[in-house]
Amino acid sequence: MTLNLLNLLSLTIWVPIIAGIVVLFAGKNDNLARFISILGAIAGFILSLIVYLQFDANFSGVQFEENYPWIQSLNIYYHLGVDGISMPFLLLNNFITVTVIIAGLKVIKSKVALYNSMFLLMTGFMSAVFCALDAMVFYVFFEAMLIPMYLIIGIWGSSNRVYAALKFFLYTLLGSLLMLVVLIYLYYVSSDTFEIFAFYKTPLTMLAQVLIFIAFFFAFAVKVPMWPVHTWLPDAHPEAPTGGSMVLAAITLKIGGYGILRFMLPIVPDAARALSGVMITLSLIAIVYIGFVSIVQKDMKRLVAYSSISHMGFVTLGSFLFVGQYLNTWALQGAIVQMISHGFVSAAMFMCIGVMYDRVHSRNIADYGGVATKMPIFAAFFMLFSMANSGLPGTSGFVGEFMVIMGSVQTKFIYAFFAATILIIGAAYTLWMYKRVVFGEVNNKHVASMSDVNFAEFIVLFLLAFAVIAMGVYPEMFVAKMQTGVKDLVMEVANTKLLIK
Amino acid sequence: MNISLFAAIPEIFVTGMLVIMLLIDAFIDEKKKAVNTIWAILTLIGGFVLQLYVFIPGKVQLAFNDMFILDAMACGMKLFTYLTGIIVVLYVKRYVDDKQLLKGEFYAIFLFAILGMLVMISANNMLILYVGLELLSLALYGLVAIDRDNVRSTEAAMKFFILGALSSGLLLYGISFIYGATNGHLQLESVYAEIGALMKGHVNNASLVFGVVFVVAGLMFKLGLVPFHMWVPDVYEGSTLAVTTVIGTVTELAAVVFVIRFLVGGLALLGPQWSIMLSVLAFLSLIIGNIVAIAQTNIKRMLGYSAISHMGFIAFGLMTTSVEGLSAVIFYVVTYVLTALAGFGVLLMLSRDKYECEKIDDLKGLNKSHPIYAGILLLVMFSLAGIPPLVGFYAKLKILEALVATGYIRSAIFAVVMSLIGAFFYLRIVKVMYFDEQDSEIIVADNCILGRSALVLNGLALLVLGVVPQQLMVACLRFITG
């Protein structure tokens, strides 16, 4: 085991949060606020990188564990730790924040301090969500996250932002409140503890399992989002500022997927097995139907939002593929890889749209055309990300989808058949949009006056492009770290914990 | 015969100071009325200190022939009452000056109300409980009507008085039945013992249950639970903001302790009977409180409905009749009062002279002009909505835990769904402050530095208690277990 003298996880969580609070009080001095935020974000990233590098891939169980009593009256412990499943998300989260802060440097001109501090707070909260081993710590940060996100969408969003912010908030709150009741219930049945791993061992009747499954479904499916509880996403994304969309797509959605792996599958494995058919059907509907819906979108951000839902369908599909009593390891790894990859790709797509939006102030595909002639460097980046979004081999988008499709062949061929249509549909909506926006004649004076990417934008796009290609060419760097964690999860879910009265 | 008065020294002190204040007030000229404010604060601080001095941890003290009790709950809640009272005075000071309410002896009536609360908290006898309640109620009727040229205030005072008198009547009627059924007992512990003896003998206790129904109706009127809530929105809206602050914050503390004394102290053995009644009232309150609040455009009225829904939560806690449930109730009411106090503090800050900050739209763009006040109100709203890491979350969590522990899982689910609806209107306030552009300039009236720093500390307390709620939770548990 590695040294843990420094409480690395706590540092990773609290450094951005403290930086965020400091920035909040930097107040009117915009440049100071920007400077501190970059420092905070990079510090957070470096810390998470250290955790990543020190992480022992062969060790089964949690690492970097910290456990202190927090609220003894309620038996809540400040218990943190990472395993192979949460590790990649921690890194992704801190990475995306760096890009978001850099992306907002030039663009955000009003309430700079508040904007940056909200993102730093978000990062810290989300890191805590990924590291939490106490269900109440998880819940507190899971909910706390809503506050900065609500403000980000509501203050810096575009025309319909208020509606979108409220819809986002209430939708996610509904799910999490039901989860709260379940967590309290589990607290009592697992003899007065909020330890997530203690929940794993608690035997439950089938009825209880199914009810708990449904509550968790509301909490996490809304976040993922799965069809049919996805409708908040296409409203929230277009109205959110670029940074907000990036964080929302790249990380917030992943919390849903992570919750499924951390809570839903291991706590109620029997219900998960029994209901996996339903979940798979919903996932396939998301993949195919939402894929078609994105083809017809006129608004670029809406299009990418719908494509996110479709891609996240792969995550839920991969999470619920069983072979006998065992979860399908291939598909499960594919689901996690898909989440990470989608984190990079969707963030990059929203960044690209944001770059164009800052110049033309329109998200309509029809307002563009011939961008390539004015912004050649940008067009190249955008091309790469579009390819990744449609799952081209060599980019990160391919790896996860491929693994999930492989896994679904083992379970049932028909699943694989439907899942594989994404490769066609995805290419259709992404590349068709790309064609209409980037190629062709310059069709209006706004586009004609566009200038190519500036330095900050270049850095962000470059970082994301690097991540997308690196993961596409050498996915092993993530897969190796998660292998033991995935294996543990598969073993955990394979056991039945049915309580027969 | 126990004629020791030691335990009641703080109350006697407050009464003495009050009398002196009335005398001073009669002989002082208009310009020097500010001395009343200082006198009121001194009274409350003095009471607080004496309370600390009088209380002996781990020992229950009695006075006035055992009709007056000083136990852990009484001491703790009285300390909170003094503290909240001091903060209220700091908040309303400038407002009261501006609106020229000082003529009506605002602080004297306020202190009478506080005295009533202290008596209610420390009463050990049904009649003393009633006397405390009337002392409080009469003072509050006066406070609501204090702005006598204001039609809405007068109307609100009239409604409050008539309905209040009716509910006091119900309460007394119920007490008289219990008095009869328990062979003439009013002392809480003898009522308890007598009911225990009755239950053992399987005698027909219809008259007892009949009395309990009336008592519960009377008590729930004071808490403002549906269907006894009609006065709440009208009084919240009609009173001047300073009085709404008094009714919406410090009064709730006493009201909840009052209910606990009555139901748990005296009628605990009839728990199955009154907890059913409470559960129905709590259901209705959560529905009406949360849904009707959505339609409000007046913040005071909205906070009134919000208070109804929070009292619904409290009734759920009482319904469990467990130690966890009751300590959750105490925790809930203390943190609710703290939260509401900060909310009213900001609104008081924004009201001046002829202008009352009461329309939700009056807060438009507050974040732009006054980020600190907007920030405090943001914390208040998220805390009321029960979003972690603010203290309101733990209050709800404790109640939910108590519900699940006693097997009321469906009630817990109902309560969280209702708090989702509640989140909607709290978020609307945040939306108005942060997302909307301001259309008229917001002027913050200058309050004294003490008032402003109290407000900031109060706002921060919501966050700090949200991160480290442990000590307060332990304290609340101790109030119940003694």
- Per residue in A406-457, pLDDT (tens digit) is 888 888 888 888 888 888 888 888 888 888 888 877 777 777 777 777 888 8
Q: Which residues from chain B sit within 8 angstroms of residue A74, using beta carbons?
A: 394, 397-398, 401, 473
- Residue B14 confidence class, pLDDT cut points 50, 70, 90: very high
- Residue A2 confidence class, pLDDT cut points 50, 70, 90: very low
- Per residue in A105-148, pLDDT (tens digit) is 777 777 778 888 888 898 899 999 999 999 999 999 998 888 88
**Percentage of chain A modeled with pLDDT above 70:** 98
For residue B302, being part of any structural domain is answered with yes
pLDDT for A28 equals 73
Are A143 and B394 an interchain contact pair (Cβ–Cβ within 8 Å)? no
In the block, tokens 């195919």 appear at A288
Cβ-in-10-Å burial (0-12, 13-18, 19+) of B30 comes to: exposed
Token readout for B59 is: 């020992």
Can you tell me the mean pLDDT for A203-213? 88
In the block, tokens 């909307």 appear at B436
Which chain B residue lies closest to A160 (C-alpha atoms)? B435
pLDDT for B204 equals 60
A18 in contact with B at a CB cutoff of 8 Å?
no
Can you tell me the mean pLDDT for A167-178? 86
CB A65 within 8 A of CB A1: no
In the predicted structure, residue A364 carries a pLDDT above the cut 60: yes
pLDDT for B116 equals 93
Between CA B240 and CA B151 the distance in angstroms is 11
Q: CA B285 from chain center: how many Å?
A: 16
Between CA B478 and CA B482 the distance in angstroms is 5
Between CA B400 and CA B394 the distance in angstroms is 10
A185 in contact with B at a CB cutoff of 8 Å?
yes
Token readout for B100 is: 């020229």
Are A71 and B388 an interchain contact pair (Cβ–Cβ within 8 Å)? no
Using CB atoms, which residue from B388, B401, B470 is nearest to A143? B388
- Residue A1 confidence class, pLDDT cut points 50, 70, 90: very low
The H or E element containing residue B70 is strand B68-70
Give the Cβ contact number of residue B352 at 10 Å.
Answer: 17
pLDDT for B2 equals 66
∠ Cα B77 B79 B82 (to 5°): 110
pLDDT for A438 equals 82
In the predicted structure, residue B335 carries a pLDDT above the cut 90: yes
Between CA A284 and CA A325 the distance in angstroms is 21
Q: Which residues from chain A sit within 8 angstroms of residue B419, using beta carbons?
A: 177
**Assembly ipTM:** 0.87
Residue A254 contacts by C-beta under 8 Å, 6 or more apart in sequence?
A89, A92, A339, A342, A343
In the predicted structure, residue A20 carries a pLDDT above the cut 70: yes
pLDDT for B283 equals 92
pLDDT for B203 equals 59
Between CA A479 and CA A57 the distance in angstroms is 10
CB A51 within 8 A of CB A9: yes
The H or E element containing residue B258 is helix B250-260
Q: What is the b/e burial string over A364-390, where b = at least 16 CB atoms within 10 angstroms of the residue's CB?
A: ebebbbbbbbbbeebbebbebbbbbbb
- Per residue in A253-288, pLDDT (tens digit) is 888 889 998 888 888 888 888 888 888 899 889 888
Between CA B213 and CA B219 the distance in angstroms is 10
Sign of CA dihedral B367, B371, B374, B379: positive
Residue A18 contacts by C-beta under 8 Å, 6 or more apart in sequence?
A40
Between CA A136 and CA A70 the distance in angstroms is 10
Between CA A86 and CA A255 the distance in angstroms is 10
Which chain B residue lies closest to A192 (C-alpha atoms)? B405
CB B69 within 8 A of CB B124: yes
**Structural domain of residue A406, as residue ranges?**
8-494
Top pLDDT among A56 and A43 is at A43
The CA distance from B229 to the nearest CA of chain A, in Å, is 27
Q: Which residues from chain A sit within 8 angstroms of residue B470, using beta carbons?
A: 70-73
**Structural domain of residue B288, as residue ranges?**
6-481
CB A240 within 8 A of CB A299: no
Are A143 and B470 an interchain contact pair (Cβ–Cβ within 8 Å)? no
Between CA A404 and CA A411 the distance in angstroms is 11
DSSP string, B395-464: HHHHHHHHHHHTT-HHHHHHHHHHHHHHHHHHHHHHHHHHTSPPSS---PPPPPHHHHHHHHHHHHHHHH
- Residue B266 confidence class, pLDDT cut points 50, 70, 90: confident
**Range among A33-42, A485-494, B198-207, B277-286 with highest mean pLDDT value:** B277-286
Q: Which residues from chain A sit within 8 angstroms of residue B472, using beta carbons?
A: none
In the block, tokens 């068709």 appear at A432
For residue A2, being part of any structural domain is answered with no
- Residue A501 confidence class, pLDDT cut points 50, 70, 90: low
pLDDT for A394 equals 82
Q: Which residues from chain A sit within 8 angstroms of residue B404, using beta carbons?
A: 181, 184-185, 187-188
- Long-range contacts (CB closer than 8 Å, 24 or more residues apart) made by A290-298: A290/A227, A290/A230, A291/A421, A291/A422, A291/A425, A291/A426, A291/A429, A292/A425, A294/A425, A294/A429, A295/A425, A295/A428, A295/A429, A295/A432, A297/A365, A297/A429, A298/A364, A298/A365, A298/A366
For residue B228, being part of any structural domain is answered with yes
In the predicted structure, residue B253 carries a pLDDT above the cut 80: yes
∠ Cα B314 B317 B322 (to 5°): 150
List the beta bridge partners of residue B70.
B61
The CA distance from A146 to the nearest CA of chain B, in Å, is 9
For residue A297, being part of any structural domain is answered with yes
Between CA A118 and CA A149 the distance in angstroms is 8
pLDDT for B56 equals 84
Residue to mutate among A184, A187, A214, A239, with most B CBs inside 10 A, is A184
A214 in contact with B at a CB cutoff of 8 Å?
no
Token readout for A272 is: 């998960």
pLDDT for B173 equals 93
Top pLDDT among A282 and A323 is at A282
* pTM, rounded to two decimals: 0.90
What are residue A299's phi and psi, to 5 degrees?
A: -100, 125
Which chain B residue lies closest to A139 (C-alpha atoms)? B388
In terms of residues, how long is chain A? 501
In the predicted structure, residue A5 carries a pLDDT above the cut 70: no
Are B423 and A173 an interchain contact pair (Cβ–Cβ within 8 Å)? yes
For residue A501, being part of any structural domain is answered with no
Are B435 and A72 an interchain contact pair (Cβ–Cβ within 8 Å)? no
Can you tell me the mean pLDDT for B59-75? 86
Using CB atoms, which residue from A73, A144, A188 is nearest to B388? A144
Side chain identity, residue A465 = A
Are B412 and A147 an interchain contact pair (Cβ–Cβ within 8 Å)? no
Closest CA to B115 of B16, B25, B256, B49: B16
- Per residue in B434-460, pLDDT (tens digit) is 888 877 766 666 667 888 888 889 999
In the predicted structure, residue A366 carries a pLDDT above the cut 90: no
**Number of domains composing chain A:** 1
In the predicted structure, residue A314 carries a pLDDT above the cut 60: yes
- Per residue in A213-252, pLDDT (tens digit) is 999 998 888 888 888 888 888 888 877 788 888 888 888 8
**Number of domains composing chain B:** 1
A173 in contact with B at a CB cutoff of 8 Å?
yes
In the predicted structure, residue B72 carries a pLDDT above the cut 70: yes
For residue B1, being part of any structural domain is answered with no
Are B397 and A165 an interchain contact pair (Cβ–Cβ within 8 Å)? no
The CA distance from A123 to the nearest CA of chain B, in Å, is 15
Residue A296 contacts by C-beta under 8 Å, 6 or more apart in sequence?
none
DSSP string, B333-396: HHHHHHHHHHHHHHHHHH-BTTB---BGGGGTTHHHH-HHHHHHHHHHHHHHHT-TTSHHHHHH
pLDDT for A167 equals 84
CB B116 within 8 A of CB B132: yes
Can you tell me the mean pLDDT for B460-467? 89
Using CB atoms, which residue from B387, B435, B477 is nearest to A146? B387
pLDDT for B370 equals 82
A16: cis peptide before it, omega within 30°?
A: no
Between CA A354 and CA A377 the distance in angstroms is 15
The CA distance from B372 to the nearest CA of chain A, in Å, is 10
Q: What average pLDDT is seen over chain B? A: 87
For residue A152, being part of any structural domain is answered with yes
- Tell me which DSSP letter residue B102 carries: G
pLDDT for B447 equals 63
pLDDT for B338 equals 93
Token readout for B74 is: 């009484």
Closest CA to A162 of A234, A239, A53, A66: A239
pLDDT for B136 equals 92
A269: cis peptide before it, omega within 30°?
A: no
Are B416 and A178 an interchain contact pair (Cβ–Cβ within 8 Å)? yes
DSSP string, A69-137: EEEGGGTEEEEEEE-TTTHHHHHHHHHHHHHHHHHHHHH--SSHHHHHHHHHHHHHHHHHHHHB-BHHH
Between CA A150 and CA A154 the distance in angstroms is 6
pLDDT for B329 equals 93
Residue to mutate among A160, A180, A205, with most B CBs inside 10 A, is A180
Q: CA A124 from chain center: how many Å?
A: 15
In the predicted structure, residue A318 carries a pLDDT above the cut 90: no
Are B397 and A180 an interchain contact pair (Cβ–Cβ within 8 Å)? yes
Top pLDDT among B288 and A28 is at B288
